[in-house]
Structure 1
Amino acid sequence: MKTLTATLLATVALTGAAAAQSCEVTLRASDTHPEGYPTVVAVERMGEMLTERSDGRICVEMFHSAQLGEEKDTIEQTQLGVIDLNRVSLGPFNNIIEETKVFTLPYIFRSTEHMHQVVDGEIGQQILDEFQNHQLVGLTFYDGGSRSFYNSQKPITSVDDIEGMKFRVMQSDVFVDMVEALGGNATPLPYGEVYSSIQTGVIDGAENNWPSYDSSGHYEVAPYYTLDQHLMVPEVLTMSQASWNSLSEEDQQLIREAARESTPIMRELWQAREAESEQAMRDAGVEIVAEIDKQPFIDAMGPVYEKHVTSEKLQDLVSQIQAVE
């Protein structure tokens, strides 16, 4: 770990040297998505706000395209203070911060609007506050779209079609159990290994949103996409607690404000990107199953909720989410 940390620090220091020369504080930001992706652009915009409002003292140096590693690795590096800012899906946090599980439960959100009401309100703040117990600061939530299944074998038109199929999932027990509950075989894999794993038959498919399905090129090897929309998992922007503690209260407040203000920017970009990617996939000839009865999928999730919503705190959070109009 020490060697890895030293290597990452050296890499980041060299790449961010120019920015560091002109700024008192250079915040190193990581994202697995490529340049131009809505989450990447949102953090870059946040950086622009910080530079302007701090009179050039604070800069953000973005490392996109998993330059600093896949999400599981970057979470650890952010906890250690090697990475300052990190945009990550909530899925990989499930095994670290128990409370994040409620936002990754299948069909917990009725719609995108319902999700926004939840994550932008008191419930969302409760979840963000939990990060402070894990060497992290939770800053804001971004959209991750609705996730659906895609594969290389056949159109999925019902739960029965999933029986025996191998699907990549994020490294989250909730995701694993969701696929198992539907009769499939879940295979946790880093995002960067999905394309080759489908291509070589290690897995039959995966599950994700339109922009990720498009930008990753997964549609080239898995041309069947089913809009079951089993998950609407928010993305979260976190900061290293060590990096946070090194700043003044005034600078901490600047970062919180800029992070929150980057959220509507990200959502606007996301909506446009989602529509663009969906059309691109249709134009590419992807076979899309748009009309599907979701109720059997929802009914199959009973064991997932029973297994993962066990504590009184989680049960209360689920009840609060379901009560939000």
Structure 2
Amino acid sequence: MKYCFYLLVFTFLLMAGSCEKLGTAKVVYLAHTLPITHPVHQGMEVFAASVEEQSGGALTVKIFPDGQLGTEREVLELLQIGSIAMTKVSAAAMANFAPEYQVMGVPYLFRNKDHFFSVLEGPTGEAILEAGSEYLLKGLCFYDAGSRSFYTKKKPIRTPEDLKGLKIRVMSHQMSVDMVNEMGGSATPMAYSELYTALQQGVVDGAENNPPSFVTSGHYEVCKFYTLDEHSSIPDVLVMGTKYWDTLEAQEQEWLRAAAKVSATAQKQFWEDNVAECMAKLKAENVEIIRPEKSLFANKTQAVLEEFSKDPRMRKLVEEIQAQ
């Protein structure tokens, strides 16, 4: 099946290339898995508009949303071989290629939103973005993907003890598994596409995600308790394959860098606006919003931080973030 997928994509790209020439304009292909209504996609639209404006139309970006060219991992692999120029993926997906991205998933590492963005937009964030270049994946900027919190079907989560005996769906991400288990729940990795049915049928008792994902997935129709413990903040990443990046002229690279910064600033506002809309929607749908004492949850996850910090390189990165 995967061979067939790559054959189809390869055929498409063989005709189009990772970029194309339209008249005198060079067109860069950017593929991702989100719907066009998502605030991160809206950020990428700003990126495309900024590239075209700065270059005077000499360089443009064509976006392929909704997973048209594959899953996050599949598209990253296409970037590595130079078949597609750009993508947007979760930092959790990048962690499978560049280990520095794993630090984004450490629970309660960031003190608040201001600390989070000061790290991502400063030297530490720049170093993490550049770390992927060793694996042919150059990060250009981070996009806000909010904070992940628990939502459940049968009972509210007010303290970590309330997670005991509950099966909680998590990403196929070891740190997420360890975090839920340390809190007392039973972490259950599962494909996101299977989650709605699993919640309906009681295969799992809950899950964890940010407000826009909770709403757009329709999971609020099944789960009427949403606990804003905000245990992790895993951003999205705008990525370009180094094989394509290295073919660009210095001016073209600068246009892309500058446009990425413009889009990251705009996307933060798109995200905030969307979260506000989603929280209003949840209230209207009679979802109980719980704001727990976060320190209770943070205290339960110290073992996850300690295990992660056994790697000297990761420990140095954690200490660098904590010191900011």
Could you tell me the TM-score, scaled by structure 2's length?
Answer: 0.92
Indicate if the aligned counterparts of 1:70 and 1:191 stay in contact, CA closer than 8 A: no
Indicate if the aligned counterparts of 1:171 and 1:188 stay in contact, CA closer than 8 A: yes
SS of the aligned residue for 1:25 comes to strand
The residue that corresponds to 1:281 in the other structure is 282
* Unaligned 5+ runs, structure 2: none
* Unaligned 5+ runs, structure 1: none
Alignment CA distance shift 1:268-1:25 (3 Å) = same
Distance 2:49 2:125 in 1: 25
Q: Are 2:103 and 1:102 aligned?
A: yes
SS of the aligned residue for 2:229 comes to strand
Q: Deviations over 1:42-62 (max 9, x none)?
A: 111111121222232322222
SS of the aligned residue for 1:40 comes to helix
The residue that corresponds to 2:80 in the other structure is 79
Distance 1:181 1:106 in 2: 11
Q: Deviations over 1:90-125 (max 9, x none)?
A: 122233321112121000111111101111111101
The residue that corresponds to 2:304 in the other structure is 304
Q: How many residues align?
A: 322
Q: Deviations over 1:195-232 (max 9, x none)?
A: 23322333222111111111121211222211111011
The amino acid that maps onto 1:256 is R
The residue that corresponds to 1:89 in the other structure is 90
SS of the aligned residue for 2:37 comes to coil
Distance 1:10 1:222 in 2: 42
SS of the aligned residue for 2:240 comes to strand
Distance 1:92 1:296 in 2: 28
Which structure 2 residues correspond to residues 34-49 of structure 1 after superposition, within 5 A? 34-49=35-50
Which structure 2 residues correspond to residues 1-325 of structure 1 after superposition, within 5 A? 3-11=4-12, 21=22, 24-290=25-291, 292-324=292-324
SS of the aligned residue for 1:193 comes to helix
Distance 2:203 2:12 in 1: 33
Alignment CA distance shift 1:99-1:16 (3 Å) = closer
Percent of aligned pairs with the same residue?
35
Distance 2:159 2:265 in 1: 35
How far does residue 3 in structure 1 lie from its aligned partner after superposition? 4.0
Alignment CA distance shift 1:124-1:242 (3 Å) = same
Distance 1:298 1:193 in 2: 29
SS of the aligned residue for 2:108 comes to coil
Distance 2:76 2:211 in 1: 25
SS of the aligned residue for 1:202 comes to coil
SS of the aligned residue for 1:50 comes to helix
SS of the aligned residue for 2:142 comes to strand
The amino acid that maps onto 1:265 is A
- RMSD of aligned Cα (Å): 2.3
How far does residue 67 in structure 1 lie from its aligned partner after superposition? 2.7
